[in-house]
């Protein structure tokens, strides 16, 4: 009886663990073999040691918390604003038709280009990073939510109309839950974007956060230290993405994955 | 106008409906339809596809406004959707994120019925449609016939006087369809509703109805009204009774004429 679950677990976790170990080994031993200086690509063990140093100095934890907060706050503010805006825009066909070309156009503008401007407007504190992250998270959620709110089966709306439902009831009972798969496709993109937004904001002007720490280590030519920040950033990304996926699975267990389109600008 | 009982529950008087197509042409979907349906009657409307029979149902439901003429329910003109009507569509239109019970409760939620009484009634209705043990399942776990039963239970939730059904069993296979016909008659008997059911199956129309209304195609006109005096409760054997066969033949005659034209 116990053999099968154990085997299942091996089959599930075995390959990625092995691949990870192989990658780490390659990182550790391959660059020296090809004569690449360990100043440019420090060994995995050196990066681990540098990470430990950063942890002991206590700076990286503080930086991690700051960037996590900026990204998460930006994600929440940007997404909620986007969902509310999409709901208001799709209330009227006319408004939707009037605004859609500009929204799609704005979608194409690389929003990180706004970072310097926002630092000038809001300052170099955490607020400016939250602002940049929310602007970047806003658009993918907005566009997906608009598509989601407008692609509801006519019969579902007719059912609500036949019951003399109010527009709010129609939205709450049918349109909003119906749009959740689309909204989550946007949120999946937005969560990663919001980390990028926070980081770029920190590059442009900040006194705290992982981006700021990365710049400091860069000035000091501490390549191993920079690598250790990248590791922390990767963990941050994976953790936040897992959070969205967890919510996704809990909320949209009912949807068929093939009819969800991802909107990646 | 069709001679009915003095006080029909549903009265359709001189209804015409035109649609404008995208290319700008006017299409007459229904022309001069008159019908009077008394309380508790089971009326089926049969016609070829595109004859406007679904439109007629939507006109009665107040979902579509007629171009000319008027629909009255219990004497009052219909000016929009109303809550004394339960609708069953061609597809079940269930909300996949809600359990069966929560789907049945949608009308209660919209209308604002008291929660506990509504939940008790929803359970009773699920028993009635033969889905007693399925309250906590999701629609994706049910077969097509079971989903349509949920839709019927939902249509009965707010205890409407009238049930309007638009080809409710059209998507089912022949076996489930006959089973659902028997089920529907049982539900009709137990719930004491007035039912108007649109179908393109002659057999189904005769089997269910007190009266079959035949609508011709383009423009949709009432071309025949047939009283069905088959004994109730009807069973699988009803279909082989001479009267059943005779009425089915008569109805089939209308469609052969349509095809020849």
Closest chain B residue to the Cα of A250, Cα to Cα: B97
Q: Are B112 and B147 in contact (CB under 8 A)?
A: no
Per-residue pLDDT of A63-81, as tens digits, reads 999 999 999 999 999 999 9
What's the Rg (C-alpha) of chain A? 23
Looking at residue A195, its pLDDT comes to 94
Which residues from B are below 8 Å from A155, CB to CB?
89, 91, 93
Query: Considering only A128-132, B15-19, B38-42, B194-198, which range has the smallest mean pLDDT?
Result: B15-19
**Token pair listed for A92:** 């009227």
Of A158, A178, A252, the CB nearest to B63: A158
B93 vs A163: CB contact, 8 Å cut-off? no
Helix (H, G, I), strand (E, B) or coil at B151: helix
Which residues from B are below 8 Å from A157, CB to CB?
none
Give the angle subtended at the CA of B91 by the CAs of B143 and A183, to the nearest 5°.
Answer: 90
Q: Are B161 and B83 in contact (CB under 8 A)?
A: no
Q: Which domains can be identified in chain A, with CATH numbers? A: 58-259 (1.10.3720.10)
Of A155, A173, A254, the CB nearest to B96: A254
A169 vs B110: CB contact, 8 Å cut-off? yes
**pLDDT, mean over chain A:** 88
**Strand-pair partners of B225:** B213
**Token pair listed for B79:** 């000016």
A163 vs B81: CB contact, 8 Å cut-off? yes
pTM of the model: 0.84
| Distance (Å, whole) CA A212 – CA A204 | 9
Which residues from B are below 8 Å from A252, CB to CB?
97
Mutate which of A159, A167, A179 to test chain B, going by most B C-beta atoms within 10 A?
Answer: A159
Mutate which of A162, A170, A172, A183 to test chain B, going by most B C-beta atoms within 10 A?
Answer: A162
Q: What count of CB pairs under 8 Å joins A to B? A: 52
Confidence category of residue B35, pLDDT binned at 50, 70, 90: very high
Check whether A261 has a pLDDT greater than 50.
no
Looking at residue B257, its pLDDT comes to 61
**pLDDT, mean over chain B:** 89
Query: The dihedral of CA A180, A186, A191, A192: what is its sign?
Result: positive
- The stretch A110-139 carries a mean pLDDT of 90
- The stretch A102-122 carries a mean pLDDT of 87
Looking at residue B256, its pLDDT comes to 74
Nearest Cα neighbor of B202 from B186, B215, B189 is B215
Model ipTM over 0.95 = no
Per-residue pLDDT of A228-238, as tens digits, reads 999 999 999 99
Q: How far is B155 from chain A (nearest CA, A)?
A: 10
Identify the residue with better confidence: B110 or B53: B110
């Amino acid at each position: 009886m116990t053999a099968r679950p154990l085997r299942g677990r091996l089959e599930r976790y075995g390959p990625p663990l092995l691949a990870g170990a192989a990658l780490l080994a390659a990182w550790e031993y391959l660059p020296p073999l090809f004569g690449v200086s360990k100043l440019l690509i420090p060994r995995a063990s050196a990066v681990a040691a540098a990470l430990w140093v950063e942890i002991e100095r206590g700076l990286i934890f503080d930086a991690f918390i700051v960037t996590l907060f900026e990204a998460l706050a930006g994600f929440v503010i940007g997404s909620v604003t986007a969902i509310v805006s999409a709901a208001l825009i799709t209330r009227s066909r006319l408004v939707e038709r009037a605004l859609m070309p500009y929204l799609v156009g704005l979608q194409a503008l690389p929003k990180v280009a706004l970072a310097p401007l926002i630092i000038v407007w809001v300052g170099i504190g955490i607020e400016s990073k939250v602002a940049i992250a929310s602007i970047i998270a806003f658009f993918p959620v907005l566009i997906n939510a608009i598509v989601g709110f407008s692609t509801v089966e006519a019969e579902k709306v007719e059912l609500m109309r036949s019951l003399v439902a109010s527009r709010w009831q129609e939205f709450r009972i049918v349109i909003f839950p119906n749009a959740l798969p689309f909204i989550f496709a946007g949120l999946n993109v937005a969560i990663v974007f919001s980390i990028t937004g926070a980081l770029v904001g920190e590059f442009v002007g900040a006194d705290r956060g992982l981006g700021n720490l990365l710049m400091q280590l860069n000035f000091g030519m501490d390549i191993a230290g920079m690598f250790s920040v990248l590791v922390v950033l990767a963990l941050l990304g994976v953790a936040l993405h897992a959070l969205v996926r967890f919510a996704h699975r809990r909320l949209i267990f009912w949807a068929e994955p093939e009819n969800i389109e991802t909107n990646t600008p | 106008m069709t001679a009915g009982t003095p006080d029909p529950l549903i009265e359709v008087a001189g209804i015409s409906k035109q649609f404008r197509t995208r290319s700008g042409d006017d299409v007459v979907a229904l022309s001069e339809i008159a019908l009077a349906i008394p309380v508790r009657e089971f009326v089926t409307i049969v016609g070829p596809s595109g004859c406007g029979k679904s439109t007629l149902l939507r006109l009665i439901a107040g979902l579509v406004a007629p171009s000319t003429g008027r629909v009255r329910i219990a004497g009052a003109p219909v000016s929009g959707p109303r809550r004394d009507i339960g609708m069953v569509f061609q597809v079940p239109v269930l909300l996949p994120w809600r359990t069966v019970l929560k789907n049945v409760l949608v009308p209660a939620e919209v209308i604002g019925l008291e929660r506990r009484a509504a939940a008790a009634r929803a359970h009773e209705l699920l028993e009635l449609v033969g889905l007693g043990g399925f309250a906590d399942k999701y629609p994706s776990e049910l077969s097509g016939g079971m989903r349509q039963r949920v839709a019927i239970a939902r249509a009965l939730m707010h205890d409407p006087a009238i049930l309007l059904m638009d080809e409710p069993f059209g998507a089912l296979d022949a076996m489930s369809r006959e089973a659902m016909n028997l089920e529907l008659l049982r539900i009709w008997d137990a719930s004491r509703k007035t039912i108007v059911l649109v179908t393109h199956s002659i057999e189904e129309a005769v089997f269910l109805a007190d009266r079959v209304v035949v609508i011709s195609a383009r423009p949709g006109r009432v071309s025949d009204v047939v009283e069905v005096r088959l004994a109730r409760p009807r069973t699988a054997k009803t279909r082989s009774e001479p009267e059943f066969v005779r009425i089915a033949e008569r109805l089939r005659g209308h469609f052969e004429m349509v095809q020849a034209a």
